[in-house]
Each structure stands twice: as C-alpha cells, then as structure tokens.
Amino acid sequence: MLQKIADDRRAAPIIRKPALRGADVDGAAMVGYCADVLDGAWEVEADRAGVDPGYRALHRSMIFASLRDHASVGELPTLVLMRPRPLIALLPIRLVLCLTLAACATTGQRTGGDADPSVGEETAGSNDPLEPFNRAMYSFNDTLDRYLLKPVATGYRAVVPTPVRKSVSNFFSNLREPAVMINSALQGKFTQAASDLSRFLMNTTFGIYGLFDVATAIGIERHNEDFGQTLGTWGVGEGPYLVLPIFGPSNFRDGTGLYVDNEAYPVEHMDDRSTRSKLRIGEAIDIRARLLDAGDILDQAAGDDPYLFVREAYRQRRRSLINDGANAAPAPLDPSIFDEEKPSPKPADSDRPATPAAAPGS
C-alpha cells in the first residue's frame, strides 16, 4: 500500500513550500508537500514527540490515503499548533499540523460555493472587534516565545534525555485528567468519564504519580475535553476572538473555560507558592519543547499575516473538538484572508445584465 502511494506521488508533481495566498492556494500541492514531510518520518517524529498510541492508530497507510483523497477538515484531526500558545497547546506533533494544513487547503476547493451558509454562521465574519488589542498581544506573545520560551525549551530538549522528558510530559498530562473527567461527565459522556477516572487512578498508582502512562499501555484511551468545549456543547456561543497574554488564541467562551479548568488543576490548590510556580514553569517548558519541530512548518504556511492564519485555524480546531471531529463541517478557511490586496467589490445589481425570467412550469 505504502509503495503504491509512494509511486503515485513520484508520478505527480509536488510543489514544496506552497503558499496560502488567495487564488494561489493549491490543495494538491499542499497535500503533496505534507505527504513529503510525513514520508519516512512518521515513526521518528512520533517517538520524539511522545505521540499517544491513539494517534499512532492513524498509521501511515491511512494518513497517505486521506491526504491523497484530499480529505476535508471534518475527516482529519484538526489540531493546529500555535507557537504563541505554550501553556495550553495540545499535543505538538508535525503530523497533526501537516494534516490540518492539507485539510485547510482542500476544504475550500471541495466545498466552494456549495457550502452550507448556516454552518459556522456565528463566526462567518471576522468576529474580531478587539483586533488592534489582539494583534498587539499576539506580537507580545511571539516576542516572548522567540527570545525566552523557545531558547529555554531548545536547551531543555538538548540536555534532558528523551525518556526523562517523556516521563515529565506524562506527569503533567496526568494532572490534567481530573478536569478532563469532569468535563466528560458535564457533556453527558459518562462512559468516557469513567474511562478518564480509570486513567487517572491507574497512572497515579501503578504509573508512579503519572510518570509512566500505564493506562495507555493497557488500552485505556486518553481524551481531550475542557470546559470551553463543555460550554460549546451546551450551546454557548464562542463570542469575540481574544488573544490572551502568554496563553494565546482564545475567545470569551474558551477564556471562561480556561479559568474553570484551572480550578480543577491540582497544582492550583498547592499551599506552597514556590512549588506551584516551579511546576507551572516546568509544564510550560515541557509543552514548548514538544512544539519546537512545528514552528518552521507553521511559519511557511502562515504567509504574510500569521495572525489571521492562527485566528482562523484556531476557530476551526475548536469547532472540530466541540463536535468530536465528527460531522464538524466548520466553515471553510477563506483563502482571500491571506491576500495582500482586498478583492475588488462585486458589481452592483444594476450593472449586471438582466436575466430572463424562467418560463412557467420550467
């Protein structure tokens, strides 16, 4: 299967580093580029990034088949990695980023003018009334990351052995399980909540306070739920887009969810402020270290205005998470947002040639 796909790729032209700009968006080129990045690097990247076995289930044959068929966002994992969001970014793996970029590039081509106008109508516009503030905060986060977080994370990964880094990641992930369990229950996913509880108890005891992911090894799947998703499941609108200091892309709904989730985070309830601060810093460094490999790809895909790219990608990812990735059908990423010039306005109705009325009964 892999050999056949490799042969197909060699027979078709592949454009490297495609740009996401207006009409120049080429879904096939982006798919080819992502497949090229993934080819031969899947296992290496998965091991280095500590990818969950749940993600490993998306083995290479399925990935390449999805890419080759120009799968839509709703058919692929839609986790986008954002460099300015070090504290709450999800699992940082180049695979997921590439799949997201390919999906974003192809969705607009597949849906075109047939997209359901009711889909994502709440965020059909920019819904960014705080854009001047958000851009300033985005710039602040990016500068902080470029000159502090990224260098520290690079040194951390260079010095600390991979098994130790993996245990650190497992430890912090285990601390998030209580919040995941609570949100699973609040969304009515009681079986999943029981599984989350089992994960937490198993890893806390047999996994030595979460240093080892015993639960995954025996087939207990890790889930990703937060209170922002819970509010979305309850029908609460996302509200205006908002870039938070350090935390990065968010909105009024998810910002509220972030506060609630932190209340369920055991570290927040530690009496020793020094220990609490050290754990927070350690978690930030751990997450940023796992994001290092994604930065270059994001920079290439974001074009001239990474702020717009991150904003739209964040919205699509959150809608997909709220819908559990099934039938999410988010509004397609409008490639025109990356144009350097605004498209010319459409001609007024009076300037258009009259269309003859349809004959009765036709």
Q: Which is more confidently placed, 269 or 8? A: 269
Q: How many domains does the chain have?
A: 1
The band of 326, judged by pLDDT with boundaries at 50, 70 and 90, is low
Which pLDDT value is given to residue 119?
36
Q: Which is more confidently placed, 308 or 101? A: 308
Q: Terminus-to-terminus CA distance in the chain, angstroms?
A: 50
Residue 191 forms part of a structural domain: yes
Residue 122 forms part of a structural domain: no
Distance separating alpha carbons of residues 60 and 1, to the nearest angstrom: 10
Q: Give the domain extent around 156.
A: 2-110+129-338
pLDDT reading at 201 higher than 80: yes
Residue with tokens 């990356």: 338
CA neighbor of 100 nearest in space, from 321, 265, 345, 342: 321
pLDDT reading at 203 higher than 50: yes
Q: Is 349 exposed, middle or buried (0-12, 13-18, 19+ CB in 10 A)?
A: exposed
Residue 66 forms part of a structural domain: yes
Residue 346 forms part of a structural domain: no
pLDDT reading at 140 higher than 90: yes
Distance separating alpha carbons of residues 119 and 351, to the nearest angstrom: 31
Express as a percent the part of the chain with pLDDT over 70. 54
Mean pLDDT of 304-317: 90
Residue 124 forms part of a structural domain: no
Which pLDDT value is given to residue 159?
95
Structure tokens belonging to residue 50: 């500590």
pLDDT reading at 156 higher than 90: yes
Residue 141 forms part of a structural domain: yes
Which pLDDT value is given to residue 126?
74
The per-residue DSSP string of 176-207 comes to: THHHHHHHHHHTT-HHHHHHHHHHHHHHHHTT
pLDDT reading at 198 higher than 90: yes
Residue 115 forms part of a structural domain: no
DSSP state of 354: P
Q: pLDDT tens digits for 232-287?
A: 999 999 999 999 998 999 999 999 999 999 988 999 889 899 999 999 999 999 99
Residue 276 forms part of a structural domain: yes
Which pLDDT value is given to residue 292?
85
